[in-house]
Amino acid sequence: MAMNPMEQFEVRPIVPLHIGPYDLSFTNQSLFMCLVVAVVTLFLTLAMSRRRLVPSRTQSMAEISYEFVANMIHSTMGEDGLVFFPFVFAIFMFVLLSNFLGLLPGAFTVTSQIAVTFALASVVILTMVITGFIKHGVRFLTLFVPKAPWYLLLLLVPIEIISFLTRPVSLSVRLFANMLAGHTLLAVFAGFVILLGAAGGVLSVISIAPMLLIVAIFALEMLVAFLQAYVFAILTCIYLNEALHLHDQH
Amino acid sequence: MELAAAKMIGAGLACFALAGAGIGIGLVFGSYLQGALRNPGAAASQTANMFLGFALCEATGLFGLVVAFMILFM
């Protein structure tokens, strides 16, 4: 029985569409991205449609997610960072929901594609650069010059520039690698269970052990799914804070 | 040596990234517990930072996985 743990990440076209040299097919990836956006939109609008002073359960879920992101922005960027609330909230909800929807059996994980995460990360970094130049003009470039004696600056400025350039890469690869590794791990262990279970005799009984392990790993994956969305959002906040306030704290 | 074998060995060597991730995660949780047991009052306010550190550490190990995939499939 040949099982490929990487098969779940395959992008398959649902509605093929080729315009000129470009492949614009509607794939299972696009389907799940639409699904994620639809779920987030429906959840937030439905939860807040019947507003009450004493919130119902769904309403308080929506309020908790709002306050969570608002607190995150407040603690990293301060009061004037709240202009970025819609941006950070959209990114957080999108990443969170795609991570969680991907955990459903048979679902496609949108964030396990480097194309998606790198696009998100580039949008974040571009927003940061554009905000920085609008707010500070050329002074934004002092971001690369920390307060240090001049002979250290010879070393520090290249390091700062390199670390700035690796930001979109590390931001996107972190999310993508976490999702890829987690789902591959689950698929590999599921393969163990099937192989052991089909072997018959004592081995079938032993197959309960990896089965239980899958449950534990799944719980870890749910933690990771939330944590990676949180990390993505808070790093977005930290980067935007640098664009807003350069080196001085808020 | 054959290219395929060299690729396999290289991908296997990339697993050493896990050592760093293991040390890092151990340090994060160990230091958190040390701090939390000394000052339990401040512990709750720092759990978010602990999980941030955990996620950052774990991601470093996963970069090794990406390197392994790049060696194997590129």
Please name the member of B51, B54, B65 whose beta carbon is closest to the beta carbon of A177. B65
Residue whose pair of structure tokens reads 């719980």 in the numeric block: A219
Cα separation of A111 and A120, whole Å?
10
> Where do the H-state alpha helices sit in B1-74?
3-13, 17-38, 40-43, 47-73
Structure confidence by residue, pLDDT tens digits, A190-203: 888 888 888 878 88
Q: What percent of chain B has pLDDT over 70?
A: 100
Residue A235, domain extent: 16-245
CA distances from A203 to A10, A69, A192, A196, A209 (A): 32, 48, 11, 6, 10
Handedness of CA A195, A200, A203, A205 (dihedral sign): positive
Q: Is A4 domain-assigned?
A: no
Please name every residue paired with A19 in a beta bridge, in sequence order, or none if there are none. A22
Cα separation of A44 and A62, whole Å?
6
A99 neighbors A179 (Cβ within 8 angstroms): yes
Structure confidence by residue, pLDDT tens digits, A128-157: 999 999 988 888 888 888 888 888 888 999
Question: Can you give the pLDDT at residue B38?
Answer: 94
Please name the member of A177, A227, A230 whose beta carbon is closest to the beta carbon of B66. A177
CB contact under 8 A, B62 and A228: no
A19 neighbors A31 (Cβ within 8 angstroms): no
A41 neighbors A26 (Cβ within 8 angstroms): no
Structure confidence by residue, pLDDT tens digits, A77-134: 888 888 999 999 999 999 999 999 999 888 888 999 889 999 999 999 999 999 999 9
Q: Which residue of B has its CA nearest to A224?
A: B55
Residue A209 pLDDT greater than 60, yes or no = yes
Report the gap between the CA of B62 and the closest CA in chain A (Å).
Answer: 6
Chain A contact probe: residue of B58, B69, B73 with most A CBs at under 10 A: B58
- Portion 15-54 of B in contact with A at CB < 8 A: 48, 51-52, 54
Task: Using a CB–CB cutoff of 8 Å, tell me whether B65 touches chain A.
Answer: yes
Residue A18's SS3 state is: strand
- Chain B residues whose CB is inside 8 A of the A225 CB are none
Question: Can you give the pLDDT at residue A56?
Answer: 84
Report the gap between the CA of B12 and the closest CA in chain A (Å).
Answer: 15
Question: Can you give the pLDDT at residue A1?
Answer: 43
CB contact under 8 A, A177 and B59: yes
Nearest CA-CA partner of A243 in A89, A121, A80:
A80
- Reported confidence tier of residue A36, pLDDT bands at 50, 70, 90: very high
- Reported confidence tier of residue A249, pLDDT bands at 50, 70, 90: low
Please name every residue paired with A27 in a beta bridge, in sequence order, or none if there are none. A13
Angle at the Cα of A139 (from A138 to A141), degrees rounded to 5?
80
Q: Is A2 left (phi over 0), alpha (psi -120 to 50) or beta?
A: beta
CA atoms within 13 A on the CB side of A79: 0
Q: Which residue of A has its CA nearest to B67?
A: A177
Q: Which residue of B has its CA nearest to A112?
A: B66
Residue A2 pLDDT greater than 60, yes or no = no
A136 neighbors A143 (Cβ within 8 angstroms): no
pTM here is 0.86
Please name the member of B48, B51, B59 whose beta carbon is closest to the beta carbon of A174. B59
- Indicate the number of domains in chain A: 1
- Write out the DSSP string of A171-215: HHHHHHHHHHHHHHHHHHHHHHHHHHHHH-THHHHHTHHHHHHHH
Task: Using a CB–CB cutoff of 8 Å, tell me whether A68 touches chain B.
Answer: no
* CATH number of the domain where residue B41 is located: 1.20.20.10
- Indicate the number of domains in chain B: 1
CA distances from A67 to A61, A62, A163 (A): 10, 9, 31
Residue A20 pLDDT greater than 70, yes or no = yes
Question: Can you give the pLDDT at residue A3?
Answer: 66
Give the β-pairing of A22-23 and A26-27: unpaired
Residue B48, domain extent: 3-73
